[in-house]
Amino acid sequence: MEFAPEMLEYANLISSKGLTGFTQGSIQERRDGYSAIGELLGEGPLMREVQDIFIPSKDGNVFIKNYIPKSEPKSKILYFHGGGWVVGRLKDFDPFARKLAEITSSIVSLVDYRLAPEFPFPLPLEDAYSSLEWISSQNQNLWKGLPLVVAGDSAGGNLAASTILRAKETSGPKIDLQILIYPVTEAICDTDSYKEFELGPGLTKKDMEWFIDQYLPDPITRSNAKASPLYQTDWKDLPPAIVFIADIDPLRDDGKLYAEKLKEAGVSVLFKEFKGYTHGFFTKVNLLKAPEVGLKMISEEMDRVFKRKEVLH
């Protein structure tokens, strides 16, 4: 196991500041600890406009922040942030959302889905699907005719994958591309990478089990495909995918196995394993260079996928 030099520098920075992230304390302390790391990221690029909106969801409302880039938008991206369904505030992902919008020339809609344990499964998923229905209906002015991308990292990648599955099963909104960044695709935690990185570095198996206990308090739900999309049986006709994973990560195999299933079903997949990186690296823009490399790859693949769709139509 060899760290990328910048990953090691980042880990040393976090350690030198005495930041513990989400690994200990009460729910509130874990949320605050996670946000304290987010504060190190600085600011993202300036946007043409940032809009705050509320949309209705089951038994409540969902807050969404729309980041509109200065360039002419070429797609709309519905983005679900990571944080184990428990931690993570929109401000923690603001620099990343801005960078994603700028590099891909896309309107990025960052979803403030409700968090566990106050709102366990399936409520965050309901929020995710309500957000999908909302963004699918946005076709006025700048939004007109834009391809739809559904994306997320970690637990957000889990919500993205499950939302895409539901859209297919219910003949819901048409999704043109999915982007899954080290997604949680099964809630049983028994893959080889969970054994290899049980104690970290970074995210541990114990951390993941704690998050899963908050989001899926009933163990019976954990093998349900809505909670563990890797267990779905029908892989056909899913949108083209970009799947990125970190190689020093208990969730490494979650993403790897998911990408393999998609490929076996004939789905086009751009897959990349970032060597020397731990879980959570991709949203640490400004502190790490690897996210920018990945975002440029995403932008190029989006161009390729959308051009191909134009040709087919």
Domain count, the chain: 1
Per the structure, the complete domain to which residue 222 belongs is given by 5-312
3-state secondary structure the chain: CCCCHHHHHHHHHHHHCCCCCCCCCCHHHHHHHHHHHHHHHCCCCCCCEEEEEEEEECCEEEEEEEEECCCCCCEEEEEECCCCCCCCCHHHHHHHHHHHHHHHCEEEEEEECCCCCCCCCCHHHHHHHHHHHHHHCCCCHHHCCCCEEEEEECHHHHHHHHHHHHHHHCCCCCCCEEEEECCCCCCCCCCHHHHHCCCCCCCCHHHHHHHHHHHCCCHHHHHCCCCCHHHCCCCCCCCCEEEEEEEECCCHHHHHHHHHHHHHCCCCEEEEEEEEEECCHHHCCCCCCHHHHHHHHHHHHHHHHHHHHHHHC
Q: What is the pLDDT of residues 215-230, one digit of tens each?
A: 999 999 999 999 999 9
Q: What per-residue confidence (pLDDT) applies to 1?
A: 81
Instruction: Identify the weakest region by mean pLDDT among 17-26, 75-84, 167-176, 183-192.
Output: 17-26
| pLDDT tens digits for range 1-52 | 899 999 999 999 999 999 988 998 999 999 999 999 999 999 999 999 999 9
| Domain of residue 183, CATH code | 3.40.50.1820
Portion of the chain with pLDDT greater than 90, in percent? 96
Residues with active-site annotation: 154
Query: Would the pLDDT of 312 be above 60?
Result: no
